[in-house]
Structure 1
């Protein structure tokens, strides 16, 4: 069961989250080609491709944790590292999910992307999505997990009232992205049909999904949003949807724009509202927590300096383990020597062949094994004095 927004910790401001679906014949090939090209161009420092089973078996190098396993449905794990402004390093993991046999284009491949920087994320930094995925219309990696919704394009709301409400509800409850609904006061021309997300800075562009309501949908969209989410849609305006229905602390007026001109010019007021909303703390999606834990606890792509630090830590770890084993051996040896001494004293120094006082000869012959003799002798020694 998903955690409620009030009980979930907020997403750290150093983290970039993304989740979607790739529709195509080979999602991993598209990722691999893009990473190879960016590494050759010097855009990223390096990348690594791992089989999920291989990653989970790295117990000698990385702490094993339940969250370190990408799960039985994971297909591949990709890691990449690159630098941004002022020498800040970004580390990111992309995991593709789905059965190996499931390569039917109509079903797609689910992917999860988590990136973390060494300081709070800035919107003008490169988008982690286009580090792994090519920023090209030829590769359909940008489908939302909510059916019928995509990034990088305009999504028109369904005509049917029930479907419209269902889509808005699913986007708010299931999606990891920021969702914006824009009402077209009149049918726009070619310039106005361009997505407003194209005006956003790179680090924010692939975190926002744009929905459009046609001119005749003004009343039905406004009514559905008020009923499902508690926010209204002004005629010819736009609104940034809350993270969850009736989310506490959400101020609809703060994220509502009364007028948006869809004429190809930059909608500055709406862009400010989107950036303002994206910077507010948001609850961590329940299924994003293990992905962030994998990034932090199961990282494999080490720099030479990190490998040296890790090697030194492993030497210290093995030295302590060897020291503990040696100490245990010494304790066992001391215990054995004490037991032999006690046995010699109890048997009169004849190595356990004698019969202690009070033991019948028949019983002595019956229990003549050295182990039983030792156990019996130590039992005599433990008897309190009377």
Structure 2
């Protein structure tokens, strides 16, 4: 699969990004139910459910900004606003999309989520994903864009070497998430099968995808990761995979854990490595830039104060436009009056141009000279 382009910029520390696929029958209905429930519970300050075409036409903050258009394949646009740490406002947009091209059965509906806070994001804040999607295993919203990969669970590595290497390439080049590979030294019991993400802070919980290698995959997983990503897979340990365009601050040894005990207890060392990795500067995926631009320039869910500021800005804009139209009208009228005066001077009061046969024409006496002289009065860059 083609490698996705990476922006030269990094993800702002105020921003939370996510994307995936919903495999259920009614994705938008799942979002609506969750938003309504959270608004009734006082978790959300407000939300909007918008048709993407109408939303693009009536963008509140930047009505002429085409970059706020979610695109022709957009199905629905949702906005939500909530507060964290008592007074920090978070704004978020979720857009659902029809898949590009011909879709195979079971690929589901694509979605993109962008959220931004008024200050740097804190890991203990609620996950923006759970503001839109219900945090329930019964709703299959959490599939990555990489086929066969899912959040909130463990994903077993393919047995085939070529498939494994392809998976590693796709996860590190296409996915927006942090990918962690854990090797099982021995087959864990039910407690050991619990995903590592369950122990992460809320804001990181839906940014991490966990892959598991079975006891007999230690060698094949180590070989594939060494060849594709220049990282090693320790037997009974774990490694946080680098992303495409990763910051030079990434060091494979730093993000490798030699021993992970899958006994149902929190893997403290691995959790710390994941947090450290999440704190590194992240390259902004090129396909994430439109979502961030739309969030900032295509926002509709205004507070009363924002509506007042917006109304005042629109009044000022319309007043400036009216002044420009009035000035333009006055300039055209002045130019027309001057032109009529010049024409009258050149032709005489009877409107008939003077004939050069009446006598020798002086240098400034001809009709052409008079007209040129008259128009010369209002020459200049603004005439």
> What TM-score does the superposition give when structure 2 sets the normalisation length?
0.90
**Alpha-carbon spacing, 1:317–1:100, altered in 2? closer, same or farther (3 Å):** same
Q: How far is the alpha carbon of 1:241 from its aligned partner?
A: 0.4
- The alpha-carbon deviation at position 344 of structure 1 amounts to 2.1
Aligned residue in 1 for 2:148: 148
Equivalent residue number for residue 197 of structure 1 = 197
Contact 1:255/1:277, CA 8 A, preserved across alignment: yes
- Structure 2 counterparts to residues 95-244 of structure 1, below 5 A: 95-98=95-98, 106-244=106-244
User: How far apart in 2 are the matches of 1:220 and 1:86?
Assistant: 49
Instruction: For residue 110 of structure 1, report the CA deviation from its aligned partner.
Output: 0.4
Deviations 1:151-186 (A, max 9, x none): 000000011111111111100000000000000000
Q: How many residues are paired up?
A: 368
Q: Which residue of 1 aligns with 2:73?
A: 73
- Measured against aligned partners, the alpha-carbon deviations of 1:112-133 in whole angstroms (never above 9, x if no partner) come to 0000011110110000000000
1:318: Cα distance to partner? 0.7
Show structure 2 runs of 5+ residues with no match: 359-366, 378-383
Deviations, residues 74-102 of structure 1 (Å, cap 9, x unaligned) = 11111110000041000001110106999
C-alpha separation in 2, matches of 1:99 and 1:307: 35
TM-score, normalising length from structure 1?
0.90
Question: Which runs of structure 2 are paired with 1:36-51 in the superposition (5 Å)?
Answer: 36-51=36-51
Measured in 1, the distance between the counterparts of 2:59 and 2:82 equals 26
Task: Determine if contact 1:24/1:105 at 8 Å carries over to the other structure.
Answer: no
Q: Compared with structure 1, are the counterparts of its residues 266 and 99 closer, same or farther at alpha carbon in structure 2 (3 Å cutoff)? A: closer
Distance change >3 Å, CA 251–CA 230, structure 1 → 2: same
Instruction: Write the distance in 1 (CA, Å) between the matches of 2:99 and 2:369.
Output: 62
Paired with 2:357 and 2:323, the residues of 1 have a C-alpha distance of: 44
Residue of structure 2 in register with 1:326 after alignment: 326
1:8 Cα shift?
1.6
Q: Assess if the C-alpha contact under 8 Å between 1:172 and 1:245 holds in 2.
A: no
Map 1:42-61; keep pairs closer than 5 Å.
Answer: 42-58=42-58
Contact 1:77 1:95 in 2 (8 A): yes
- 8 Å CA contact retained: 1:103, 1:109: no
Q: 2:275 & 2:318 partners in 1: Cα distance?
A: 49
The Cα of 1:3 is off from its aligned counterpart by: 6.9
Structure 2 counterpart of 1:355: 353
CA RMSD of aligned residues (A): 2.5
Q: Which residue of 1 aligns with 2:265?
A: 265
